[in-house]
């Protein structure tokens, strides 16, 4: 199964103001690198050499100036503009022409994690259809999409529930087959006015085509001051690369 990469690096980054008043949050430093370098390096190490970067219009020039063609990372970048902050599913929908029928490995640009992505990507490549999510147990599941698991199946996902039914959350690492775009086109905006990736994942659940694994090692998003500080501390403990 051919696998292309998608990094979603849009959004307004309002929770990180004033740091993000003049720059995209994915260009902020984490350790010795811009944040966006980490998902790129995870994808390329997993054998993904064609990567689409989706970001907003305001900072697209800065992102392109930083990343260039992809030669520095031994990959090839394509860029797409998300005109408004309309949700993760809307941003992923922009990848349809880029994917051209291939499956995709999708990473939210503010997700930093320790594990090698390759074993998870290889396992997904062996799937004939469907999707795969990487889950992680966290102390504050109400901030995320929370997964209900029964044995080896996810039976439901709730987006940022006030009373989470588990501590297992959906990290910002997703694998989808080519059908994801037809599912996205059926979505309606949520109460937040966004097209939710949780709704896409629940469609795969209904079709019994959603697999999962728990992500090993540490994982964190970097979308708040607290989590940005946490991930800087975690990265500082890793061997230099």
Low-confidence ranges of the chain (pLDDT < 70): 241
Task: Please give the pLDDT value at position 85.
Answer: 81
User: Which distant-in-sequence residues (6+ apart) come within 8 Å of 5 by Cβ?
Assistant: 43, 48, 50, 51, 52, 75, 104, 105, 106, 107
Query: What's the whole-number average pLDDT of the chain?
Result: 95
Tokens 């990507």, residue? 121
Task: Please give the pLDDT value at position 236.
Answer: 94
| Confidence (pTM) | 0.96
Task: Please give the pLDDT value at position 81.
Answer: 96
Task: Please give the pLDDT value at position 239.
Answer: 86
Q: Are 89 and 196 a contacting pair, CB within 8 Å?
A: yes
DSSP string for 129-149: SSEEEEEEE-S-GGGSEEEEE
Task: Please give the pLDDT value at position 128.
Answer: 84
pLDDT in tens, 143-175: 999 999 988 789 999 989 999 999 999 999 999
Query: Rounded CA gap, 207 and 209, in Å?
Result: 5
Query: Rounded CA gap, 60 and 93, in Å?
Result: 18
Query: Rounded CA gap, 111 and 219, in Å?
Result: 7
Which 3 state secondary structure label does DSSP give 2? coil
Task: Please give the pLDDT value at position 5.
Answer: 98
**Does the structural domain 4-237 have CATH classification 3.30.70.20?**
no
Q: Are 124 and 109 a contacting pair, CB within 8 Å?
A: no
Task: Please give the pLDDT value at position 41.
Answer: 98
In Å, what is the CA distance from 68 to each residue of 24, 73, 74, 129?
Answer: 16, 10, 11, 33
């Amino acid at each position: 199964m051919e696998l292309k990469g998608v990094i979603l690096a849009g959004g307004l980054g309002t929770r990180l103001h004033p740091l993000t008043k003049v720059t995209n949050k994915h260009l902020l430093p984490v350790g010795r690198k811009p944040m966006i370098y980490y998902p790129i390096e995870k994808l390329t190490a997993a054998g993904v050499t064609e990567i689409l970067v989706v970001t907003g219009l305001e900072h697209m020039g800065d992102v392109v100036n930083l990343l260039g063609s992809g030669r520095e990372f031994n990959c090839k970048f394509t860029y797409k503009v998300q005109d408004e902050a309309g949700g993760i599913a809307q941003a992923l929908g922009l990848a349809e022409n880029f994917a051209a029928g291939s499956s995709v490995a999708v990473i939210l640009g503010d997700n930093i994690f320790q594990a090698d992505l390759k074993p998870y990507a290889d396992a997904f490549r062996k799937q004939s259809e469907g999707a795969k999510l990487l889950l992680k147990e966290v102390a504050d599941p109400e901030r995320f999409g929370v997964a209900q698991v029964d044995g080896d199946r996810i039976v439901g996902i709730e987006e940022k529930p006030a009373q989470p039914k588990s501590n297992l959350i959906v990290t910002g690492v997703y694998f989808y087959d080519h059908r994801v775009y037809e599912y996205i086109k059926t979505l309606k905006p949520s109460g937040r006015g966004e097209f939710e990736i949780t709704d896409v994942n629940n469609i795969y659940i209904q079709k019994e085509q959603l697999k999962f694994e728990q992500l090993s090692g540490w994982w964190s998003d970097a979308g708040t001051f607290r989590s940005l500080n946490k991930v800087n501390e975690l990265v500082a403990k890793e061997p230099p690369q």
